[in-house]
Structure 1
Amino acid sequence: MVWMTAAEALKVLNVRPQTLYANVSRGKIRAKSDEADPRRSLYHRDDVLRMARRSNGRRKIEAVSAQAMQWGDPVLPSAISTAADGRLLYRGHDAVTLSDTATLEEIADLLWQAEPGQPLAAPAAAASAAHAPAALPAPASALGAGLLALALRSASDAPSMDRPAAELRAEAAAVLATLTQAMIGPTGDPTTTISRRLALAWQRPASEDLLRRALVLMADHELNASTFATRVAISTGASLAAGVLAGFTTLTGPLHGGASAEFAQLIAAAKRQGAEAAVASWRASGRALPGFGHRLYAQGDPRARALMKLLPELQPHTDLAAAAEAQAGELPNIDFALTLLAAAHGLPDDAPFILFALGRCVGWLAHALEQVQARRPIRPRARYVGPSAGTC
């Protein structure tokens, strides 16, 4: 069973009901209404078992810190975005609502706190040309092109410390333009929106509105792995480009930006053996199910819902969603939605990755600008678990 009753959860956890409800409110245990009795709630079995494995009693500070570093509790103060009550907020504004009309450039102006009357992101594309070498090797992928372009900027851009905020915001726009041009090429007018440039590059002008929405929804997501990497780099005084490069490199991992590639493997398996068998086989391997579930959203990823309501049902996506909910109690997340968008509109195989990277670059730069103001390095301590002195 994927879900358990309150009585079953309390028995496993050996805690009072108030503690169970507190863990639900903090997002540590997912809950949903019981279809058989809407007055009752059901609790996600995996979350309950994970909480039960934690030791009882007061934990030492290093154990608390270690858990915070791994998942769940914010480790840095930030005013940029938060996932709260099933919604994603950008500086207090609902990201889903913003995605109805805003462009990624307008979200950049919001997150970077552009001064009134001085939009920064849209007109800055041409500025990246001054930083680009006359000739570059041609990487085989958008990932390789992005890594190369950011590395070249990182080697020459000035450190971020002790510089005027307005100057840094203008440089942030140029870094975004550099990554955009590297990943999609010099398509169309460099001063137009990124969603428009993507639609032209992929020869899908009718898809522009959905691309715009996807970019806005990807712009930021609290202190995820890539954002934290960006902030660590910036905390040393590194340039904005170097901070973005640090964040961008984390997207090579299958647990973050590479999730869409993992989901593509699940799609292929579903086409070969059917959705139910593909999900069961994947779960039996011990790997996290790509494209489904998000621990910050007990009722499902709102970004995925916002996109999926505008997309048609496709196979094997629909059957995979049903199998994932039945077998694991997990709902589609943004990786699922981006892959569905690409399939429904005939976009390139790497379109989900490009949308993720270009959208999230806006958030990385927002966190970089915020971290500059902190003026102190991020330096966690290690909890040493190796051999003691004299034993080796």
Structure 2
Amino acid sequence: MADHEAEAGSEPEERRLTTREAAERLGVKPETVYAYVSRGQLTSRRAPGGRGSTFDPAEVDALARRSRREAAPGGDGPPVGSGITLIEEDRHYYRGVDSTALAEHHSYEEVAEWLWTGRMRPGVRFTAHPETLAAARRAAGALPAHTGLMDRLRVAAIAAAAADPLRFDLAESTVVATARDLIATLTDTLPVRGAQEPPDAPVARRLWTRLTDRPPGTGWLRVLDSALVLLIDHDLAVSTVAARVAASAQAHPYAVVSAGLGALDGPLHGGASGFAHRMLLDAMERGGAAVVASHLRADRRVPGLGHRLYPREDPRASALLRLLEEVPEAAPALQAAREVVETMARHVPLYANVDLALAVVSVSAGMPQEAGETVFAVSRTAGWIAHALEEYGERPLRMRPTGRYHGPRPPQPLPLPLP
């Protein structure tokens, strides 16, 4: 009995949370904390003297992260279930398989095909239908010369839809065929900067020639292909929610992807890698410590650091940064990125996220600032289609939330005309 009491009291009580502290971390009422205990979602321990319960802070924080993820879509309805991506304990899984392992052993096309169909097809390639590609190229070719890569992708998706008479067929086999064609069309519509690759080359090789005029080399292609795999999906990110809303209304796959591309356009989502690119160029010129100091002095967040779903380093960033260590040309940008991370770590436990890893790729390979977002968009197209396939099998329009009106109560008088 004495041994048991010594074991139970081995953890200092101040390291545990009271019921009220646990409720504050979870953003709920104290009685809800006890409901979590009764459902087995939390474990409680009686406080010394039998007065109240105490809780493990790590367990409370883990429940809080799960609750935030489940509440991400918003609205009044239940959480949106999906069997595609799981983010748990600083790991990132596709259908229960570690995404970093998939990136190590399979190509982007293979993983995309597996997510859509459940079958792994070694060596699968995506090629564009000639009529679809011609329509997309004509539309993109009519844009002003200064048009950026992302605007070209958006126009290409719309033009490809107009050229496809089968776009309204939502049968799984047709949607998958459309997805292969669309990813190839988006890639091949971008203007070539390097040597022309054959139309049946891997997506990573074809995309490389659209982002830089430098020869790729084996190491660089492995990095880019891994980035494409790791970025396919990330649970219910805002662009994925937009894509699923479109699919919920039975929109065709091109419209689903267009919805995702529209939501990707903001600086807090797709554009984040561009800010990291610019910051990294500055860090290579002035030093990481000086750049961090400049951002903090201006009360600006340092790009490329931290992710709300990962308490420690983003596993996608970890995988890419390890691969980049094997590419000699990436060494200067890698060193600058590490200096930024180490400088911030003196005060705040922020770690590299995938935007910083993409910035190391784009800066080292002589790519434009928009390159990271472009890689993100091409890659995520596969994820949006995977979510669309799920949503087509659900009750239509289930993504329609109920609004909470907070305007003036009726009846109100008619507005007066301006004098």
Go from structure 1 to structure 2 and tell me whether the alpha carbon gap of 1:311 and 1:191 turns closer, same or farther (over 3 Å shift).
same
> Does 2:222 correspond to 1:217?
no
1:96 counterpart (97, 100, 104): 100
Go from structure 1 to structure 2 and tell me whether the alpha carbon gap of 1:12 and 1:275 turns closer, same or farther (over 3 Å shift).
farther
Give the paired residue count: 353
The alpha-carbon deviation at position 208 of structure 1 amounts to 1.1
How far apart are the structure 2 equivalents of 1:148 and 1:120? Answer: 29
The within-5 A match list for 1:187-198 is 187-198=196-207
Q: TM-score, normalised to structure 1's length?
A: 0.78
Q: Which residue of 1 aligns with 2:345?
A: 325
> Does 2:116 correspond to 1:112?
yes
Query: Aligned with 2:274: secondary structure?
Result: helix
2:381 counterpart (334, 354, 361): 361
The within-5 A match list for 1:169-248 is 169-185=176-192, 187-201=196-210, 202=212, 203-206=214-217, 207-248=220-261
Larger radius of gyration: 2
Q: Which residue of 1 aligns with 2:355?
A: 335
Q: Deviations over 1:190-240 (max 9, x none)?
A: 122111113344333211111111111111111101111111111112110
> Does 2:55 correspond to 1:18?
yes
Give the residue type in structure 1 aligned to 2:405: Y
Go from structure 1 to structure 2 and tell me whether the alpha carbon gap of 1:160 and 1:148 turns closer, same or farther (over 3 Å shift).
closer
Go from structure 1 to structure 2 and tell me whether the alpha carbon gap of 1:283 and 1:226 turns closer, same or farther (over 3 Å shift).
farther
Query: Aligned with 1:83: secondary structure?
Result: strand
How far apart are the structure 2 equivalents of 1:122 and 1:22? Answer: 44
- Asked whether the equivalents of residues 280 and 327 of structure 1 are also in contact (C-alpha less than 8 Å), the reply is no
106-115 or 213-222, larger mean C-alpha shift: 106-115
The alpha-carbon deviation at position 189 of structure 1 amounts to 1.4
Go from structure 1 to structure 2 and tell me whether the alpha carbon gap of 1:159 and 1:376 turns closer, same or farther (over 3 Å shift).
farther
2:150 counterpart (143, 149, 152): 143
How far apart are the structure 2 equivalents of 1:265 and 1:8? Answer: 42
- Asked whether the equivalents of residues 108 and 121 of structure 1 are also in contact (C-alpha less than 8 Å), the reply is no
The alpha-carbon deviation at position 243 of structure 1 amounts to 0.7
How far apart are the structure 2 equivalents of 1:66 and 1:115? Answer: 28
> Does 2:403 correspond to 1:379?
no
Q: Which residue of 2 aligns with 1:289?
A: 302
Q: Which has the higher contact order (CA 8 A, sep 6+)?
A: 1
2:127 counterpart (119, 124, 131): 124
Give the residue type in structure 1 aligned to 2:341: A
How far apart are the structure 1 equivalents of 2:70 and 2:177? Answer: 37
Query: Aligned with 2:133: secondary structure?
Result: helix
5+ residue gaps, structure 2, are 1-11, 23-52, 326-330, 414-419
Q: TM-score, normalised to structure 2's length?
A: 0.74
1:389 counterpart (383, 403, 410): 410
The alpha-carbon deviation at position 171 of structure 1 amounts to 1.1
318-327 or 119-128, larger mean C-alpha shift: 119-128
Give the residue type in structure 2 aligned to 1:94: D
The alpha-carbon deviation at position 173 of structure 1 amounts to 1.2
Q: Which residue of 1 aligns with 2:364?
A: 344
Go from structure 1 to structure 2 and tell me whether the alpha carbon gap of 1:335 and 1:368 turns closer, same or farther (over 3 Å shift).
same
How far apart are the structure 2 equivalents of 1:161 and 1:220? Answer: 24
The alpha-carbon deviation at position 384 of structure 1 amounts to 2.3
The within-5 A match list for 1:11-50 is 14-15=21-22, 17-18=54-55, 20-26=57-63, 28=65
Q: Deviations over 1:78-126 (max 9, x none)?
A: 1111112221111111110011121110011111116676x89624323
Q: Which residue of 2 aligns with 1:39?
A: none
The alpha-carbon deviation at position 7 of structure 1 amounts to 4.6
How far apart are the structure 2 equivalents of 1:293 and 1:12? Answer: 29
Q: Deviations over 1:223-269 (max 9, x none)?
A: 10111111111111211011101101222211111001222343355
- Asked whether the equivalents of residues 120 and 169 of structure 1 are also in contact (C-alpha less than 8 Å), the reply is no
Query: Aligned with 1:89: secondary structure?
Result: strand
276-285 or 253-262, larger mean C-alpha shift: 276-285
Give the residue type in structure 1 aligned to 2:216: P
Give the residue type in structure 2 aligned to 1:190: P
How far apart are the structure 2 equivalents of 1:374 and 1:279? Answer: 47
Query: Aligned with 1:124: secondary structure?
Result: coil
How far apart are the structure 1 equivalents of 2:289 and 2:20? Answer: 31
Query: Equivalent pairs: percent with the same residue?
Result: 32
Go from structure 1 to structure 2 and tell me whether the alpha carbon gap of 1:157 and 1:272 turns closer, same or farther (over 3 Å shift).
same
- Asked whether the equivalents of residues 109 and 126 of structure 2 are also in contact (C-alpha less than 8 Å), the reply is no
- Asked whether the equivalents of residues 195 and 215 of structure 1 are also in contact (C-alpha less than 8 Å), the reply is yes
Q: Which residue of 2 aligns with 1:263?
A: 276
